[in-house]
Structure 1
Amino acid sequence: MLDWDHVFATRASRMRASEIRELLKLLDKPDIISFAGGIPDPALFPTEAFQQAYSEIFSGPEAASALQYSVSEGYLPLREWLRGEMEKLGIACTADNIFITSGSQQALDYLGKLFLSPGDTALVTWPTYLGALQAFNAYEPHYDQLSIQGNRTPESYQTAAARSGGQVKFAYLSPDFANPTGETMNRAGRVSLLSLCEALDIPLIEDAAYQCLRYDGEPVPPVLAMEIAAKGSIEACRTLYLGSFSKTLAPGLRVGFVVANSTVIRKLVLMKQAADLHSSSINQIVVARVAERIFDQQVAKIRSAYSARRDAMLKALARHMPKGVTWTRPEGGMFIWLTLPDGMDGASLLARSVEAEKVAFVPGQAFFADRSGANTLRLSFSCANEAMIEEGIGRLGRLLVAALPAAA
């Protein structure tokens, strides 16, 4: 029998199952109240609009091209529509600065492949999006903690990277309603972050998956918009903006995009040609049609639903959480981040919670590149109605009250 471990590339040892994807299996159990999966509510998908768009395509002249191979850059009318949406955000660009991917997760994988050699350093926040760590892990990097307070010097990052045998290659973060914390970086933080990347002469990957999901508070311009305003052209910018239709229209179609200078876009196109040729032609055409017709209406609908659920969870946490537990108060997105007293372990708590209280969440340790943060957890409010939120948070609070003396 072949010894598979002997022939796997060294990068395979860094491939681990997603703790979140495993927890999604709990959603199929009717007795579990799940705050685990950070996924959109399928009841809010614009099903009829998609049904109409597919029907029109298959009964019209686009049927053949929708089922045919296509260009690697992506469907041009979709890229033109995105160009208009980017302009509304202050991101002046052309369709040639936009590249369509199979979900923004593919964009993370491509950028990891494009920039990281084994031993190089990626700067990420503590905590950060687990999917980004999984995408980058395959390219064998080291991680260093990206300080959003700006209390580290560029030289300290360079020195640490050199000790690890490589260079600092990029900074990655989600500045708006981040997964997992729900927090948003203010304007001053974005300016400071850009200055750091300038000093290190590295790209900044701006993951804007939740950009549209603001419920209150003052909008902050995307980092790429701020950089374009300062430099005059996207071609002079180091920020790479990642977007997705997964949180607004539907995740199953797997349509995401990158907005960047043409040098990076050309490299990504070459990678696409080698990987999967192009993203699904028909799905891109359908997304373009649906977005043109109902995007603003759809976003307004999901903002209304999710903001009510966020408010319900914040109120339930205030009622039911014991002293010593703290949480974020996001202005948008899908997540609230809990910090438990020192000594408590989110993974152990999850096992007890599922068994005794039938409530699921995501232990926070998975979101830390150094596997710290054991006393944290992520709650998602996107797929739970207000009654479920009140009941589930009440159960979780009861469990924490019972667990706190043992942790003291």
Structure 2
Amino acid sequence: MLQPRLASRAKRMRASEIRELLKLLARPDIISFAGGIPDEKLFPAEAAKEGYAKALDEQTRGISLQYSLSDGYVPLREWIVDYMATIGVQCDVENIMITSGSQQALDFIAKLYLSPNDTALVTWPTYLGALQAFNAYEPRFDRLDPMGNRSTAEIVREAEEAGGAVKFAYLSADFSNPTGQTYSREMREKLIEMADEFDMPIIEDGAYQALRFDGKSIPPILAIEQEQRGGDIEACRTIYCGSFSKTLAPGLRIGWVCGARQILDRLVIIKQAGDLHTSTINQIVIDHIARTVFDEQVDKIGSVYSARRDKLLAELKKHMPEGVSWTEPEGGMFVWVTLPKHLDGADLLAKSLETEKVAFVPGQAFFADGSGANTIRLSFSCADDEMIEEGMARLGRLIAGAM
């Protein structure tokens, strides 16, 4: 009855395969490597309790329970300014806007830039949540290729033939979801050159940037661009999206955007229309947690996740049959597995849930063109040694039988 009344964009909105798979986490018979979520046992619960007590005391409750600035709670934005400086970005409070998780930031940025039939350049594969956020604004997707295997003219021509223009490039440069791979400094510099050629912004998703276990840190794209622009963030195209979900607590839904004021001013207007402001009490709590235990928390989860990554890589090497390959990330939460071309990750998952009771995410959902059927994503963030040993033995047996 209601279908004819829906907007055309509704046809492009689909449920997240990952969100559906998260339901499996409640099943005790399933060993899950599906959910890309932090380990709840590592949450800074005591600091959160202290934060809520502070937010509700006599002096603060008039702020924490009241309407607030759309830009966000000023002390938290000041903390983020200091944090951004530690990763090479010099900015001030007016360059920071608080969002309800970085997912909201992606939605607002897409709303700002995309008209129907415009082109968004994304990595192949890319974060599924970004594809979902962008899809609502009816774009087309093209492959982001900073190393220049395709000419700018060719990409622009195809965008114009589709009835729009190339509007932005989106990527997660560090330990990306889903592959766990990291862009080199050379690739980041090439991407800045590419953005200049297209006269477009770069959307840098920094959700996993703090989760480096080993290897040498690489400055964010925004930091490199700012250095190239003589230190002036107002001259930078890059829009950095940060998040506390992977470092502190996802349930508080606090993220941020960092960029030039002319962009932030427009995003604040979108924020005002979207939800007025992010929960002030949660901003106060995150501010307290960040100021008291942020470095300690990052070190703690880094130590745990690093050991789990090492265990997963060792068990993959032990159990995977010949013809299967995988990434070896220096941080983050994910390992990306490539199967022989004739295998389908979705079919494999269906068989796995029926027989081996191991859950993972089929890779095809992360490709804008529906390719990548022979890939799967494994998350190690919530898996202990016993789960990894048993899970990889079962998965290896399943894949060997399917080959």
TM value normalised by structure 2: 0.99
Give the deviation of 1:39 after TM superposition: 0.3
Report the counterpart of residue 252 of structure 1 in structure 2. 251
User: 142, 145, 159: which is aligned to 1:144?
Assistant: 142
User: 82, 102, 105: which is aligned to 1:104?
Assistant: 102
Paired letter, 1:323: E
Task: Give 1:353-368 correspondences, 5 Å limit.
Answer: 353-368=352-367
Paired letter, 2:144: L
Give the deviation of 1:72 after TM superposition: 0.2
Moved more, 388-397 or 152-161: 152-161
| Matched residue SS, 2:370 | coil
1:15 and 2:13 equivalent? yes
Give the deviation of 1:60 after TM superposition: 3.3
Cα contact 1:102–1:254 (8 A) shared by 2: yes
Report the counterpart of residue 151 of structure 2 in structure 1. 153
Tell me how far apart the structure 2 counterparts of residues 154 and 120 of structure 1 sit (CA, whole Å): 15
Tell me how far apart the structure 2 counterparts of residues 174 and 148 of structure 1 sit (CA, whole Å): 13
Paired letter, 2:313: L
Give the deviation of 1:163 after TM superposition: 1.2
Task: Give 1:120-135 correspondences, 5 Å limit.
Answer: 120-135=118-133
Tell me how far apart the structure 2 counterparts of residues 198 and 157 of structure 1 sit (CA, whole Å): 14
Tell me how far apart the structure 1 counterparts of residues 113 and 131 of structure 2 sit (CA, whole Å): 14
Report the counterpart of residue 308 of structure 2 in structure 1. 309
How many pairs are equivalent? 402
Report the counterpart of residue 300 of structure 1 in structure 2. 299
Paired letter, 1:382: S
Give the deviation of 1:203 after TM superposition: 0.4
| Matched residue SS, 2:350 | helix
Report the counterpart of residue 189 of structure 1 in structure 2. 187
1:326 and 2:337 equivalent? no
Moved more, 364-373 or 149-158: 149-158
Give the deviation of 1:343 after TM superposition: 1.0
| Matched residue SS, 1:144 | strand
Give the deviation of 1:265 after TM superposition: 0.3
Give the deviation of 1:59 after TM superposition: 2.6
Report the counterpart of residue 205 of structure 1 in structure 2. 203
Report the counterpart of residue 265 of structure 1 in structure 2. 264
Paired letter, 1:135: A
Paired letter, 2:180: G
1:81 and 2:79 equivalent? yes
| Matched residue SS, 1:238 | coil
Tell me how far apart the structure 2 counterparts of residues 251 and 221 of structure 1 sit (CA, whole Å): 24
Cα contact 1:240–1:259 (8 A) shared by 2: yes
CA offsets 1:365-406 (integer angstroms, 9 cap, x no match)? 0000000000000000001101111110110000011110xx
Tell me how far apart the structure 2 counterparts of residues 197 and 56 of structure 1 sit (CA, whole Å): 44
Tell me how far apart the structure 2 counterparts of residues 141 and 283 of structure 1 sit (CA, whole Å): 33
Paired letter, 1:317: L
| Matched residue SS, 1:206 | strand
Cα contact 1:150–1:193 (8 A) shared by 2: no
Instruction: Sort the Cα spacing of 1:249 and 1:207 in 2 relative to 1 into closer, same or farther, 3 A.
Output: same
Paired letter, 1:294: V
CA offsets 1:187-230 (integer angstroms, 9 cap, x no match)? 00001111111000000000000000000001111000000001
Report the counterpart of residue 24 of structure 2 in structure 1. 26
Give the deviation of 1:103 after TM superposition: 0.2
Report the counterpart of residue 162 of structure 1 in structure 2. 160
Cα contact 2:146–2:194 (8 A) shared by 1: no
Report the counterpart of residue 234 of structure 1 in structure 2. 233
Give the deviation of 1:56 after TM superposition: 2.4
| Matched residue SS, 1:185 | coil
Paired letter, 1:400: I
| Matched residue SS, 1:112 | helix
Give the deviation of 1:157 after TM superposition: 1.1
Paired letter, 2:81: R
Give the deviation of 1:149 after TM superposition: 3.0
Paired letter, 2:273: A
Report the counterpart of residue 179 of structure 1 in structure 2. 177
Paired letter, 1:293: T
User: 35, 38, 52: which is aligned to 2:36?
Assistant: 38
| Matched residue SS, 1:213 | coil
Report the counterpart of residue 90 of structure 1 in structure 2. 88
Q: Which runs of 5+ in 1 are unaligned?
A: none
CA offsets 1:316-335 (integer angstroms, 9 cap, x no match)? 00000000000000000000
Cα contact 1:36–1:378 (8 A) shared by 2: yes
Tell me how far apart the structure 2 counterparts of residues 121 and 74 of structure 1 sit (CA, whole Å): 31
For the aligned residue pairs, the C-alpha RMSD in angstroms reads: 0.6
**Percent identity between the aligned chains?**
61
1:48 and 2:46 equivalent? yes
CA offsets 1:220-255 (integer angstroms, 9 cap, x no match)? 110000000010200000000000000000000000
1:117 and 2:115 equivalent? yes
Tell me how far apart the structure 1 counterparts of residues 55 and 142 of structure 2 sit (CA, whole Å): 48
Report the counterpart of residue 66 of structure 1 in structure 2. 64
Cα contact 1:364–1:376 (8 A) shared by 2: yes
Cα contact 1:212–1:299 (8 A) shared by 2: yes
Report the counterpart of residue 390 of structure 2 in structure 1. 391
Cα contact 1:336–1:379 (8 A) shared by 2: yes
Tell me how far apart the structure 1 counterparts of residues 54 and 97 of structure 2 sit (CA, whole Å): 25
Moved more, 46-55 or 298-307: 46-55
Give the deviation of 1:268 after TM superposition: 0.6
TM value normalised by structure 1: 0.98
